[in-house]
């Protein structure tokens, strides 16, 4: 491929990251069934519609009674089990057997555990000293009617979905998931399962990005491989954008005569980032398109594609969904190797982590070539190495971007 000089300034990765996020909106709200709410972001505060629990419930198997009558012999007048409450009110001098989860009858203010009482036929006695409120959950102990129980912006996990169910909320208002159009570019690419000929490679990037997009919460539609033909690429992109807020492409963003993505994005919208001081990932491209759409042109080398996804695309996808925390967590790690950036750009090196005493130790995954996907497969963290020949010596403590923990 003939190489042309780039007209785009080479900008710092932090600046490019800011440009991307400032250009990224939060998607509108939709209402979803509780069965589809896991992993979504709550769009408005959740208020309790009733007291939770709605009635006092026993925390143990035992006997409900008045705490003031503990130590006295009480007549057992009935039973309260989950789903089968005691009918009526406990009068002085009486008790009711109650099972875990059962309603504590009106008139009782304590539950004596079954292992602590003495039972003689229809009579029971509990040890003295039992306090009021012992061994049961009062009405409204978890939440009172009208109380805010979940904040807007909270990701919905198992506990949050369970709480909504307990409050009788069958539907929740959440931020929409981004619809993403994904395609690869390049005449050299063939589909997975096809035998590549001389000079051809299997399109692995699209499948790696599909997995990354799904993990980030996107709804993805694949659009295959676009040839290195301007009209064909334009037609495929315009068709893809008809049903998507985000376009993600792989390849075609460098400066060769067959690298057609940047010129296409220029004609469709405004390119804000055309090159970044980042290794791997220098040709990363970001554009905004009419209708508030976003376009990410990722480099063709496999590792470059996934690193620029992590640094730029994933945070944008999280912002679209209303997440407050956009970045992966970071932790201090001790370097188990001498780390140096290869050149004048900040380098995101791939490392594995091991626990050694109270510390996490980071070790290189080997060759950091942007074409070597093995350097990222199995990596548990990314370490930012500043440009320059000095690097960071083994034994130094640095902040690592955590992908997974050992």
Does the residue 2 lie in any domain? no
pLDDT value of position 342: 84
Same domain, 257 and 349: no
Domain final residue pick, 253, 288, 320: 320
Task: Read off the CATH number of the domain in which 363 is found.
Answer: 2.40.340.10
Same domain, 223 and 132: no
Does the residue 4 lie in any domain? no
Over its length of 406 residues, how does the chain's per-residue pLDDT go in tens digits? 444 567 899 999 999 999 999 999 999 999 999 999 999 999 999 999 999 999 999 999 999 999 999 999 999 999 999 999 999 999 999 999 999 999 999 999 999 999 999 999 999 999 999 999 999 999 999 999 999 999 999 999 999 999 999 999 999 999 999 999 999 999 999 999 999 999 999 999 999 999 999 999 999 999 999 999 999 999 999 999 999 999 999 998 875 556 799 999 999 999 999 999 999 999 999 999 999 999 999 999 999 999 999 999 999 999 999 999 999 999 999 999 999 988 889 999 999 999 999 999 999 999 999 999 999 999 999 999 998 878 899 999 999 999 999 8
Tally of domains in the chain: 4
d(CA 323, CA 160): 15
Same domain, 101 and 151: no
Same domain, 192 and 287: yes
Does the residue 325 lie in any domain? no
Same domain, 276 and 391: no
Same domain, 64 and 94: yes
Does the residue 361 lie in any domain? yes
Same domain, 236 and 356: no
Reported pTM: 0.88
Task: Read off the CATH number of the domain in which 294 is found.
Answer: 3.40.980.10
Report yes or no: 366 and 376 within 8 Å, Cβ to Cβ.
no
Does the residue 340 lie in any domain? yes
Same domain, 125 and 208: no
Strand order in the sheet with 62-65: 110-113, 62-65, 94-98, 73-80, 123-125, 118-120
DSSP assignment of 317-362 equals HHHHTT-S--SPPEEEEEESS-B--SSSSEEEEEEEEEEETTEEEE
Tell me the residue range of the domain where 105 lies.
59-137
Domain final residue pick, 320, 349, 371: 320
- Give the residue carrying structure tokens 């009480």: 74
What's the N-to-C CA distance of the chain in angstroms? Answer: 43
Give the β-pairing of 270-273 and 285-289: antiparallel
Same domain, 305 and 213: yes
Same domain, 42 and 148: yes
Same domain, 301 and 209: yes
Does the residue 69 lie in any domain? yes
Does the residue 224 lie in any domain? yes
Backbone φ, ψ for residue 328 (5° rounding): -70, 155
Task: Please tell me what DSSP assigns to residue 27.
Answer: P
The residues pairing with 64 across neighbouring beta strands, listed in sequence order, are 96, 111
Does the residue 397 lie in any domain? yes
DSSP assignment of 221-282 equals EEEEEE-S-HHHHHHHHHHHHTT-SEEEEES--SSBTT--HHHHHHHHSEEEESEEEEES-T
Task: Read off the CATH number of the domain in which 112 is found.
Answer: 2.170.190.11
Domain final residue pick, 158, 175, 192: 175
Same domain, 238 and 300: yes
Task: Read off the CATH number of the domain in which 170 is found.
Answer: 3.90.105.10
The residues pairing with 113 across neighbouring beta strands, listed in sequence order, are 62
């Amino acid at each position: 491929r003939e190489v042309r000089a780039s007209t785009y300034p080479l900008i710092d990765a932090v600046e490019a990251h800011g440009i991307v996020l400032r250009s990224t909106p939060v998607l509108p709200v939709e209402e979803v069934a509780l069965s589809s709410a896991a992993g979504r972001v709550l769009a408005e505060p959740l208020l309790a519609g009733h007291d939770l629990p709605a009635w006092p419930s026993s925390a143990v198997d035992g006997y409900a009674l008045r705490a003031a009558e503990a130590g006295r012999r009480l007549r057992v007048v009935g039973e309260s089990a989950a789903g089968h409450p005691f009918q009526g009110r406990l009068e002085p001098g009486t008790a009711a057997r109650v099972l875990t989860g059962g309603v504590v009858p009106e008139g009782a203010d304590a539950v004596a555990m079954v292992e602590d009482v003495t039972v003689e036929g229809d009579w029971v006695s509990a040890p003295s000293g039992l306090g009021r409120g012992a061994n049961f959950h009062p009405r409204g102990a978890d939440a009172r009617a009208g109380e805010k129980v979940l904040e807007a912006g909270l990701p919905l996990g198992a506990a949050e979905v369970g709480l909504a169910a307990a409050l009788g909320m069958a539907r929740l208002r959440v931020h929409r998931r981004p619809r993403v159009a994904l395609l690869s570019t390049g005449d050299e690419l063939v589909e997975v399962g096809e035998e590549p000929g001389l000079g051809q490679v299997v399109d692995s990037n699209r499948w790696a990005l599909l997995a990354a997009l799904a993990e980030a919460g996107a709804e993805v539609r694949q659009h295959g491989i676009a040839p290195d033909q301007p009209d064909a690429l334009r037609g495929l992109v315009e068709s893809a954008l008809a049903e998507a807020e985000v376009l993600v492409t792989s390849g075609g963003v460098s400066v060769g005569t067959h690298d057609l993505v940047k010129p296409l994005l220029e004609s469709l919208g405004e390119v804000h980032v055309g090159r970044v001081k980042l290794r791997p990932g220098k040709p990363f491209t970001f554009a905004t398109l009419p209708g508030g759409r976003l376009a990410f042109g990722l480099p063709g080398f496999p590792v470059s594609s996934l690193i620029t996804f992590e640094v730029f695309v994933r945070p944008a996808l999280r912002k679209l969904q209303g997440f407050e925390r956009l970045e992966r967590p970071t932790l201090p790690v001790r370097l188990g190797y001498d780390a140096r950036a290869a050149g004048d750009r900040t380098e995101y090196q791939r490392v594995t982590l091991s626990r050694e005493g109270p510390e996490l130790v980071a070790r290189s995954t080997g060759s950091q070539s942007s074409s070597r996907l093995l350097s990222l497969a199995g990596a548990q963290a990314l370490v930012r190495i500043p440009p320059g020949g000095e690097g960071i010596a083994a034994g130094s403590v640095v902040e690592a971007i955590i992908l997974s923990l050992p």
